[in-house]
Amino acid sequence: MLSTPVNLSLPNEPRLVTALPGSRAQAIIERDRAVTSPSYTRDYPLVVARGEGCMVEDVDGNVFLDMTAGIAVTATGHAHPEVVKAIQAQSARLLHMSGTDFYYEPMVELAEQLAMRAPFPSSGTGFPAKVFFTNSGAESNEGAIKLARYYTKRSLIVAFLGAFHGRTYGAMSLTGSKAVQRANFGPLVPGVTHIPYGTHASLDHLEKQLFATILPPDEVAAIAVEAIQGEGGYIVPEDGFLQRIRDICDRYGILMIVDEVQAGMGRTGRLFAINHWGVMSDIITTAKGIASGLPLGAILARPELMTWPPGSHATTFGGNPVACAAGIATLRLLESGLMTNATQMGELLQANLTQLHNKFPRMSLPRGKGLMVAVDLLNEEGNLDSKLRDRIIQEAFLQGLLLLGCGKAAIRFCPPLVIDSKQIQIAVDILSQILHSSHIVSKST
């Protein structure tokens, strides 16, 4: 292994000390190419050595401002000291025992903490939810599909175009994002119908056309929906959209599965994105930010739904004690300031991006909630321009700013929720400089 230069603390802004990628990064990328799956999608050659807050350092000592949070995961920032402390303390006591076959307190405690915050109707005396822990977003959605089918004894599912729910067979079958994610993997799980996301017109079509013709509603187990569509482009649905799904579900005895894997755990300024609309769900799936970077996910379901018997669904690693300890620390931090910060910094980011849009209309107005924000890039005719988006992301990397795309031509901003106003300004300044560079923006697409 190459040793990495270690500084005590990372600067609060990008600092580039080599050409990119540096020589150590190049060597690791070459080794990677020889041995890892070509299905990974690396947009630029970043080889990370360590992270702190919103900053990451590569193996050559270059420091980047991270507006990706490792794909919306490191909610509390990279290596938050309180999360690290909780992980260290728990790993010195118990690394693994399997919550499927045994009991340990961190799993119970995190389940209690999540259950009491679930956006479900109060169930009187007990907790408003029961919790099944998983290792990932896909596994959470996979389990949610199984639970919905098990409980309703129905098989059909409605999902949305543009949705991303994961890569395993059930989750992939709900996904309606990019053709490459499905191509040559069929046959998928049958019984899924995709409709357009986010509009009342789409729900009219579902109820008036599909339910009346080819999709008998009393055979539909669930409607699976992202409260804000993530990989599909950070699309905020029309007001009333989620409430109408709730109403449709109630009318036909269908379960509402809300995928909060990307939008949940404080990212939008509320614990769950659905909280913005005050809509009650039946099942919530979560993962990503839940444990600040340790692999953990969860299915939350109304207690009367989670009636599957012992042995019907389980997992060896899900709810690992170290991941749960990280989850407990994460939740504490989210509620003691980080969700408020997400709201405030998200508003600042959107205000700054709006100003930038006023100068560069080829970057759209921003959209999103909290620190789940995106802009589209447009060509001169005003159409979505994915190549321009890709060039901007490349150039941002070369200037020390880490960005990710989503949707057809969007740049998403999903930084750690610890980001401060200076870092927001730096990110927008770098973007502004790039939009000023005629060699990037004016290239015909």
Residues found near ligand PLP in the complex (CB under 6 A):
136-138, 141, 164-166, 226, 230-231, 259, 261-262, 287
67 Cβ contact list (under 8 Å, min separation 6): 401, 402, 403, 404, 413, 414, 415, 427
24 vs 276 by CB, closer to ligand PLP: 276
Listing DSSP states for 342-354 in one string gives: HHHHHHHHHHHHH
* Half-sphere exposure for 438 (CA within 13 Å, toward CB): 0
132, containing H or E segment: strand 130-134
285 vs 423 by CB, closer to ligand PLP: 285
What CA–CA distance (Å, rounded) separates 47 from 327? 26
- Minimum CB separation of residue 114 from ligand PLP in Å reads 17
- Minimum CB separation of residue 415 from ligand PLP in Å reads 16
Give the neighbor-by-neighbor strand order of the sheet with 48-52: 48-52, 55-58, 63-66, 401-402
Closest CA to 261 of 395, 98, 75: 75
Specify burial of residue 208 (Cβ count, 10 A radius: 0-12, 13-18, 19+). exposed
CA distances from 252 to 154, 168, 214, 247, 285 (A): 12, 28, 15, 9, 22
104 vs 133 by CB, closer to ligand PLP: 133
Residue 53 gets which letter from DSSP?
Answer: B
14 vs 70 by CB, closer to ligand PLP: 70
57 vs 259 by CB, closer to ligand PLP: 259
Amino acid at 73: V
- Minimum CB separation of residue 90 from ligand PLP in Å reads 21
- Minimum CB separation of residue 231 from ligand PLP in Å reads 5
Q: Could you check whether the bond before residue 21 is cis, i.e. omega within 30 degrees of 0?
A: yes
295 vs 400 by CB, closer to ligand PLP: 295
Residue nearest to ligand PLP (CB): 137
- Minimum CB separation of residue 232 from ligand PLP in Å reads 9
- Minimum CB separation of residue 241 from ligand PLP in Å reads 16
262 vs 423 by CB, closer to ligand PLP: 262
60 Cβ contact list (under 8 Å, min separation 6): 5, 17, 18, 21, 22, 23, 24, 25
137 vs 321 by CB, closer to ligand PLP: 137
- Minimum CB separation of residue 421 from ligand PLP in Å reads 27
- Minimum CB separation of residue 307 from ligand PLP in Å reads 25
Cβ atoms 296, 317 nearer than 8 A: no
